Structure 1
Amino acid sequence: MKKKILVVDDEISICMLLQNFLSRDYDVITIYSALEALEWLEDNLPDLIISDIQMSEMDGYEFLTKVRQRGFTKHTPIVMLSGRAESKERIKCYRLGAQDYLTKPFNPEELEELVKKNLYPIHYAIEW
């Protein structure tokens, strides 16, 4: 059974891009709103969440905080996406509980490595 990845981004093009890159190896669910994603998480538990930071209604920081406050998603790995490359943005995400941070536009190979690293934290390296 494929690992399940939840993608949360209000930009349809980014969701389609992530779906295209990841759907060969993973079951990808795309949701265009953080509020809708929280509702979806009531009945579903993904293996990984990839979330944008800048979204309408609820931004990625608040979404990340709410995911971490829930018992059943407390330890779900989260990769945050952002158009901002500043260190302070990364640090804020890490302090709120994100495992990784990827700047848009992103390199598909880097995305693939971050996904592997978070889904298979011990065995993701090709060579030891």
Structure 2
Amino acid sequence: MKKKVLVVDDERTICVLLENFLSPEHIVVTKNSGLEALNWLNTNIPDLIISDIQMSNMDGFEFLKEVRLKGFTKHTPVIMLSGRTESKERVKCYQIGAQDYLAKPFNPDELKEVVKKNLFPIHYASAW
């Protein structure tokens, strides 16, 4: 059964790109804002969330905090995307509860491996 991945990014091109990369193996749902994604999360539970940090209205940090406060998504793995590569921003993501952080532009192969690692952590480790 395909896993459900929620992609949150206000750049439509990134949403389409991620959908194209991930849809052969996963069900991909895209939302263009943190608020839109939070509303969707009221009635849906994804297996993984991929969120941009720099978004208007609600940035990725605030979105991640809200995801962690919701009972149903408290333990859902989250991968944060950002155009910034500073260590300070990555550390902040980890402190708030992100499992991984990828800098844009990201390598599609790395994205697929990070997604696989977060969706299937035991199987991923056993492949070593």
Give the TM-score normalised by the residue count of structure 1: 0.98
Q: Match for residue 23 of structure 2?
A: 23
Runs of 4+ in 1 over 3 A off after TM superposition: none
Once the two structures are TM-superposed, the CA of residue 124 in structure 1 deviates from its matched residue by 1.4
Q: Match for residue 34 of structure 2?
A: 34
Q: Match for residue 127 of structure 2?
A: 127
Unaligned runs of 5+ in 2: none
Give 3-state SS (helix, strand or coil) of 1:98's partner. coil
After superposing the two structures, state which structure 1 stretch, 118-127 or 99-108, moved more: 118-127
Q: Match for residue 107 of structure 2?
A: 107
Once the two structures are TM-superposed, the CA of residue 122 in structure 1 deviates from its matched residue by 1.0
Q: What is the percent sequence identity of the aligned residues?
A: 72
Unaligned runs of 5+ in 1: none
Report 1:67-82 matches (<5 A).
67-82=67-82
Task: Report which of the two has the higher share of helix.
Answer: 2
Once the two structures are TM-superposed, the CA of residue 125 in structure 1 deviates from its matched residue by 4.4
| CA distance in structure 2 between the partners assigned to 1:11 and 1:79 by the alignment | 16
| CA distance in structure 1 between the partners assigned to 2:17 and 2:29 by the alignment | 12
Once the two structures are TM-superposed, the CA of residue 127 in structure 1 deviates from its matched residue by 3.4
Once the two structures are TM-superposed, the CA of residue 126 in structure 1 deviates from its matched residue by 7.2
| CA distance in structure 1 between the partners assigned to 2:21 and 2:73 by the alignment | 24
Residue 62 (1) aligns with residue 62 (2): yes
Distance 1:113 1:126, change over 3 A: farther
Give 3-state SS (helix, strand or coil) of 1:24's partner. coil
Give 3-state SS (helix, strand or coil) of 1:122's partner. helix
Distance 1:126 1:18, change over 3 A: farther
